Structure 1
Amino acid sequence: MSVRDRLKGLTPEDERVLRLVGGHMGALASKDLKARCADGLDHCSETWAARKRDLTVRSSSRWAGSVTKATHDQWALSRRGQGAYLDSLDAGIRTISHRLSLPIGEKGGRRQPGGYRSKHEWFHKTRRLHVLEERRAAVAADRDNGVVHVVRGGRKLLNTRHNLDAADLTEARWRERWESARWFLSADGESGKRFGNETIRVAPDGEVSIKLPAALADLANAKHGRYVLAARVAFAHRGAEWADRIEANRAVAYRIHLDVERGRWYLDASWTRPVVKTAPLATARAAGMVGVDTNADHFACWQLDVHGNPVGEPRRFFYDLTGTATHRDAQVRHAVSRLLHWAKRCGVRAIGLENLDFTAETTREKHGRRKRFRQLISGIPTGRLRARLVSMAAELDLVIVAVDPAYTSQWGTQHWRKPLATPRRRTTRHDSAAVAIGRRALGHPIRRRTAPPHDDRSDRRGHRTVQAPSGTRGREETRHPATDRAHDARSRTGTTRTRATSRASNTVRDARSDQTWVQDPLLLT
């Protein structure tokens, strides 16, 4: 959980102290990251303790702990990125090798691409294969040796230095961004300490104070080597939850950073929520389900009851994933928030979602020249959606049910698009896919009817509906016709027709029972 507030009313002295502290701790963090990368796979508790002791002399023990933890997290993130890059290279190599083994011009199937279209393309792909194999060998050697390539401040910003004209930046402006990105003004929380943090402390009245490093202790304006800022913070979002934590002296981590473009200082407060508890699947399905179809620019949703029947009207929640990373993250967060609040109003306890993963689908070798299609599937926020949705759903006491995405769009369009269309409602393939996802999350088949039984059965190819539960008698039969004569006969006699005494032309004789057969009223045909 993370909340943010602006540091308003900072004096020039406050800004000077923040810049000095950030620059000093940023230099220490850079040296520590360099030492950690040099250790590679030989890292152990002794090397970590030695690095922390060196940092403690020039800062403090808590500052040193925050720096080393951030260093370990950054190194681990680089290792995960290295593994993902290897998987991408392997997918490209497999695809090229497969297409090179096919004759030129051979068409592919639904799941495998075909051969290349010309000798010219075939030749260039052989060169491309050698390039990928050499690149993979270099990355695999780095991974085996524990070598990672990390840039504090971001590799994108570093490369911008060589393209200042294209980025519309001056060298001084770029230098300001580069230095602010490499500052280190973060402090981990510690339960049991005053207000949950000893390094960057925020009091209930909004007072912000910083424990200065040993090299800058002469800048303190309060006791015990602390510097109190003139600004006051008041978290508008989840401020009550933050106040409860600091009053109970529970751990809260803080980060101070500068937005160079706006010239504003911000303070982020974050803490860890309790572990998300899983609910039994039967409990999650008890009140129905909301099926969600994830697309490149919107969520298509439809509410389903416990029997798998759509309820109400479909809903769509749009988002725009163009622009900066901050804008994209805000768009996903806003769309997920609207989706969860709508699901809460519907009264359901669970949301059905596809377990999508396009890691192997986004390589250019997979779909050849279909660049727009690769951009489309790359734009679907699968990883960010899962992380956001699980954490935000836990706040509203909702459960996420992940299902297999196979054939949800195809079968949803085939079996649900036309039946759900009305003169005033045009059902799209995304809406029908949401119904298919919700039915699969509820444990129901997507297809509305199963195949007819074989000729050797007594019912002789009678249609079987899949709407009724498995314990319902006569579930493999067709619905009995509700004609005017049938209603009149029922009203005159006061009883229903039994199988042993009389049988309509489309019913099946059952000699094993003479009980009354009643059709399930919740079936949808």
Structure 2
Amino acid sequence: MAQGTRKKVLELRLLADPFVVAAPTGARIRDRLRLSSADEKILMLLGDHLGHHARADLAERVRIGKVPVKDNRRAERKRALTKVSSSRWAGAITRASEDQYRLSLRCLFDERALLRRAITEIGKRLAVPCGRRVGGVRGYQSRAERAQKQCRLQSLTARLTEVDRRIEGGHPAIVLGGRRLARARHNLADTSLTESEWRERWDSARLFLTADGESGVPYGNYTISVDPADGSVTIVLPEPMRHLANAPRGRYQLDCTVTFHHRLDEWLDRITAGQAVRYDIVHDPSRGRWYLDASWATPKRVQPTADELAATGARLLAVDLNADHLAACVVDTHGNPVGEPVTVPTDLPGPTSHRDGRLRAAITELINLARANGCAGLAIENLGFADARATGRETMGHGRHGKNFRRAVAGLPTARFRERLRGMAHHHGLVVIAVDPAYTSRWGAQHWKQPLQQQSKTTVVTGHHAAAAAIGRRALGHGLRRRPGVTAHDQRIVARRATGQTVPRPRARGTASPPRTAGTPHQGTKTCRDRSDQHALFPVSQDRSGRQPASPVGGDAANTGQLG
């Protein structure tokens, strides 16, 4: 082959090792508060009063900037807030301000990384002339597209400069109530909201009704207390609002009661033992409802590693996440598919509450399927799409096909699916293994789609089912490529599938066993040699009388004394 026509050898990506997703570190339950008009008015006054001081404290924390924890003046700020609220309300406000500040800084660092990645990708393509390819980098197709990308590069560079300035000064931009809702105020016609409706949502989002739990106090929380006997809720009012109290010691008792149904036993165990429980009162103005959320920290548990789980010989339910459905396949300890693959529809378009409910229903179906097949856990891809979303059209295609692909990627609930699956699977005693998503779809379709279709009689196997099988094999430590004889159409071959081929087994070395010659017959199902001096995976053939053949199988010229 000529030097100029030699094809470039593509290097494969380095694959990350599969890992077990950590168990959730906390629990959260919710129940509805059916408030009277008087109770609703009191909660609005309380939330607005505490929210005003919480916003002032957060602004002061941002002005302090990026300093060590000992220099953030939290004790000083807490003493100032205690005068207008109480010691416990002040502690919750300063803790929330510190958490919000740290979270905003992490978001700034993530934004800087994404901007740098996008600037690098665009800069590479701008360095190549239009319509040409240099060193594997393709230039833009037209001058108009190149000019647009130059404008975008300038815009991204300006944003990066601003982000660097904020990180250096330690002053992130924080909007209590949500930046999206704040921007909607200037485009009410596009949001189908009136000014009064927007104002109601804005005020509700800026309420502060959060009380941190305390260990050793009655029912795990002194500020917002829930009596397990009758479900009554009492709240400690700040000092300026003590005249509105209807219970002893400056407390206000709501007319309604609370009855938690989900994880009730865990909640009762904690509050009866005096362990800390945090409470949040949330207002949903679109529905006109109030909710009480209870949350607490769960003890840390040591999860088995992916190698330990594979060594136990357990099955896994491999799941491939797609825009409109979940493709699942059960794999055994050798990496062989068991049974027929399953498709779980998701149908996620719609309001946020509807999407979350449908996603939970799909995950519940996966968990029931795993338990019915005796699986010890679920295997999923470690998807994030952070790089793809940052670079956009630079790495995700052009035209109609690229637009559809980017839309599908944007519609995948990767983070929400992972978090929901982690929590729900943990409560059912299942582990979640995350694997590197590289080549699962390509190699799965190449090596497992046809064998799965031959094995399945009633299910139409797609490339997503084959990708699920590849995900399960990678979670167990096997390769994605199928060796001959693992699955087959013939029933006799399926009955004796060569599962040992999918597991690396150490062979004896040295003089552990006497050598065998090609002329020595072998009994039973042990491997023997045929006439072509190759290993055969089937026992030595016999006639109907059960007698061995007259001449040994695998005889060659050296054994018979004949020359080839």
Same fold (TM over 0.5): yes
Q: How far 1:230 sits from its partner (Å)?
A: 0.6
The correspondence for 2:381, drawn from 339, 346, 354, is 354
Pair 1:435-2:461 in alignment: no
1:226-245 alignment runs, 5 A limit: 226-245=251-270
Q: What SS is found at the alignment partner of 2:452?
A: coil
The correspondence for 2:410, drawn from 378, 391, 399, is 378
Q: How far 1:326 sits from its partner (Å)?
A: 3.5
| Counterpart AA for 2:51 | G
Q: What SS is found at the alignment partner of 2:387?
A: coil
| Counterpart AA for 1:259 | D
The correspondence for 1:396, drawn from 411, 414, 428, is 428
1:60-139 alignment runs, 5 A limit: 60-106=86-132, 114-139=138-163
Q: How far 1:114 sits from its partner (Å)?
A: 1.9
- The CA distance in 2 between the partners of 1:283 and 1:433, in whole Å, is 23
With over 3 angstroms needed to count, the CA separation of the structure-2 counterparts of 1:221 and 1:340, relative to structure 1, is same
Give per-residue Cα distances to partners, 1:388-438, cap 9 Å, x unaligned. 222322212212222221111111111110111145332100000010111
Q: How far 1:315 sits from its partner (Å)?
A: 1.7
Q: 4+ residue stretches of structure 1 with deviation over 6 A?
A: none
1:514-525 alignment runs, 5 A limit: none
Name the structure 2 match of 1:330. 357
Q: How far 1:475 sits from its partner (Å)?
A: 11
- The CA distance in 2 between the partners of 1:15 and 1:419, in whole Å, is 62
Pair 1:502-2:558 in alignment: no
Name the structure 2 match of 1:414. 446
The correspondence for 1:187, drawn from 211, 217, 221, is 211
- The CA distance in 1 between the partners of 2:84 and 2:445, in whole Å, is 65
Pair 1:449-2:483 in alignment: yes
Higher relative contact order (CA 8 A, sep 6+): 2
Q: How far 1:298 sits from its partner (Å)?
A: 2.2
Q: Confirm or deny: 8 A CA contact 1:187 1:200 kept in the other structure.
A: yes
- RMSD over aligned Cα atoms: 2.8
Name the structure 2 match of 1:512. none
| Counterpart AA for 1:297 | D
- The CA distance in 1 between the partners of 2:356 and 2:383, in whole Å, is 18
Identity %: 44
| Counterpart AA for 1:304 | V
Q: What SS is found at the alignment partner of 2:395?
A: helix
Name the structure 2 match of 1:260. 285
- The CA distance in 1 between the partners of 2:70 and 2:240, in whole Å, is 27
Q: TM-score, normalised by structure 2?
A: 0.80
Q: Confirm or deny: 8 A CA contact 2:341 2:459 kept in the other structure.
A: no
**Which deviates more from structure 2 when the two are superposed, residues 310-319 or residues 430-439?**
310-319
| Counterpart AA for 2:159 | R
| Counterpart AA for 2:162 | A
With over 3 angstroms needed to count, the CA separation of the structure-2 counterparts of 1:492 and 1:184, relative to structure 1, is same
Equivalent residue pairs, number? 485
| Counterpart AA for 1:273 | T
Name the structure 1 match of 2:493. none
- The CA distance in 2 between the partners of 1:323 and 1:431, in whole Å, is 26
1:271-310 alignment runs, 5 A limit: 271-285=296-310, 286-310=313-337
| Counterpart AA for 1:322 | P
Name the structure 2 match of 1:492. 546
With over 3 angstroms needed to count, the CA separation of the structure-2 counterparts of 1:249 and 1:7, relative to structure 1, is same
- The CA distance in 2 between the partners of 1:133 and 1:478, in whole Å, is 63
With over 3 angstroms needed to count, the CA separation of the structure-2 counterparts of 1:273 and 1:474, relative to structure 1, is farther
With over 3 angstroms needed to count, the CA separation of the structure-2 counterparts of 1:385 and 1:505, relative to structure 1, is farther
- The CA distance in 2 between the partners of 1:107 and 1:329, in whole Å, is 44
Q: What SS is found at the alignment partner of 1:470?
A: coil
- The CA distance in 2 between the partners of 1:101 and 1:303, in whole Å, is 48
Q: How far 1:264 sits from its partner (Å)?
A: 1.6
Q: What SS is found at the alignment partner of 1:384?
A: helix
With over 3 angstroms needed to count, the CA separation of the structure-2 counterparts of 1:331 and 1:43, relative to structure 1, is farther
Q: How far 1:209 sits from its partner (Å)?
A: 0.4
Q: Confirm or deny: 8 A CA contact 2:527 2:536 kept in the other structure.
A: no
- The CA distance in 2 between the partners of 1:167 and 1:288, in whole Å, is 49
Q: Confirm or deny: 8 A CA contact 1:113 1:366 kept in the other structure.
A: no
Q: How far 1:194 sits from its partner (Å)?
A: 0.6
- The CA distance in 1 between the partners of 2:83 and 2:238, in whole Å, is 9
The correspondence for 2:62, drawn from 37, 50, 67, is 37
Q: Confirm or deny: 8 A CA contact 2:382 2:435 kept in the other structure.
A: yes
Q: What SS is found at the alignment partner of 2:459?
A: coil
**Which deviates more from structure 2 when the two are superposed, residues 100-109 or residues 158-167?**
100-109
Q: How far 1:67 sits from its partner (Å)?
A: 1.0
Name the structure 2 match of 1:27. 52
Q: What SS is found at the alignment partner of 1:420?
A: helix
